[in-house]
Amino acid sequence: MGKRIAGILLAVLILVFAMPARVGAVSTSATAAILVDADSGRVLYEQNADARMLIASTTKIMTALVAIREGNLSDTVKVSKKAAYTEGSSMYLKVGEELTLETLLYGLMLCSGNDAAVAIAEHVGGSEAGFAELMNETAAELGMEHTSFANPNGLDHEDHYSTARDMAVLACAAMNNEILARIVSTRTVTIGGRTMTNHNKLLSYMDGCIGLKTGYTQAAGRTLVSCAEQEGQRLVAVTLQDGNDWADHQALYEYGFSTYPSQRLATLGQQLQEAAVQGGAVSTVPLIAADTVSWPTAKGERVETRIELEQPLTAPLTAGNRVGQAVFTWKGQEIGRVDLLCGGNVAPAVESAWNTLKLPG
């Protein structure tokens, strides 16, 4: 199936989502809700996050992700009669009309076009049923254990449901896809002869909102998945069956950014520690972080760092070689790790001239 999401990232997301979140400091009108730090996966707030719920058009986040991974933006898609006459919200497609997949994706995510969803599904999956299989395969790959997709648009169906927690997993994966992140952050676009405006009013209601997707059916009520960024930190909020979702999402973000600012645990190229060297011309060598790791930290919380070397460092050593890892733990549980690189070349110690001098026999 197209490009695969990195297994390590998914394992971290699934692990971290199991950590308890602080409750009581903020509340919502939603039946189910969750607030997550998008890059670390830490849950900052949750309310009935594992309740199985209808998700309406927030379904289209998965539709778009699958279409981008499996299709080509420049593909020409011919609109079928079934797609054109799909009930509900629409980008007003006409039978036989030909559009690029990219145009349909904008119609899907900005106009919430159910017609666009069907046209995309038929093109990428061969049929709605075939596309639903791809959606469910991707859900399983992402670790969305309590989710089932029956269609690409979110119309009510007994086999179509998810949870706030699973939708947060999906949202994090979606915002890591550059194409999808670009589409859902767009307020207005003219493409393929159409001008489309995003239904997600949160993009204009609050500074820092960068997506994602609204949804509504009479049975599901109002559903909203969104993402906001502040000073490089990204948070994802999900509310299901929430009549006050615009205000609730703003309140969740105000709480999350103020209570859990992101703390840089390691920065690419940063020296984290020095390590002893055996038999070297110098006695220590810097250990350099090979990547950047951050973690949202509330006041008074402390993240511990543990250095794990693959073996004792013995000269000669070459700068840039991987020699171990730094492991970060919070409340005794691992929250991340980064490779450590040797920070310099280390030659073997040179024996003294006295010891190496060979006298004539």
First to last CA, the chain: 75
Helix, strand, coil % over all residues of the chain, rounded to 5: 30, 30, 40
Burial class (CB in 10 A: 0-12, 13-18, 19+), 38: buried
Answer yes or no: 57 catalytic.
Answer: yes
Which residue in the list 3, 29, 40, 60 is annotated as catalytic?
60
Distances (CA, A) of 298 to 65, 185, 254, 342, 344: 32, 28, 14, 32, 36
Give the length of the chain. 361
Amino acid at 261: P
Amino acid at 286: P
Answer yes or no: 204 catalytic.
Answer: no
Is residue 73 within 8 Å of 192, Cβ to Cβ? no
Cβ-Cβ contacts under 8 Å for 11 (sequence gap 6 or more)? none
Alpha-carbon torsion (68, 143, 234, 24), positive or negative: positive
Which residue in the list 40, 89, 112, 294 is annotated as catalytic?
112
- Which one-letter DSSP state was computed for residue 83? H
d(CA 37, CA 277): 39
Burial class (CB in 10 A: 0-12, 13-18, 19+), 251: middle
Alpha-carbon torsion (286, 292, 295, 299), positive or negative: positive
d(CA 180, CA 197): 16
- Helix and strand totals (H; E) in the chain: 11, 17
Answer yes or no: 80 catalytic.
Answer: no
**Phi and psi at residue 7, in whole multiples of 5°?**
-60, -35
Which residue in the list 3, 29, 40, 57 is annotated as catalytic?
57
Give, for 233, the enclosing helix (H) or strand (E): strand 233-240
Token pair of 279, please? Answer: 């038999």
Please identify every residue annotated as catalytic.
57, 60, 112
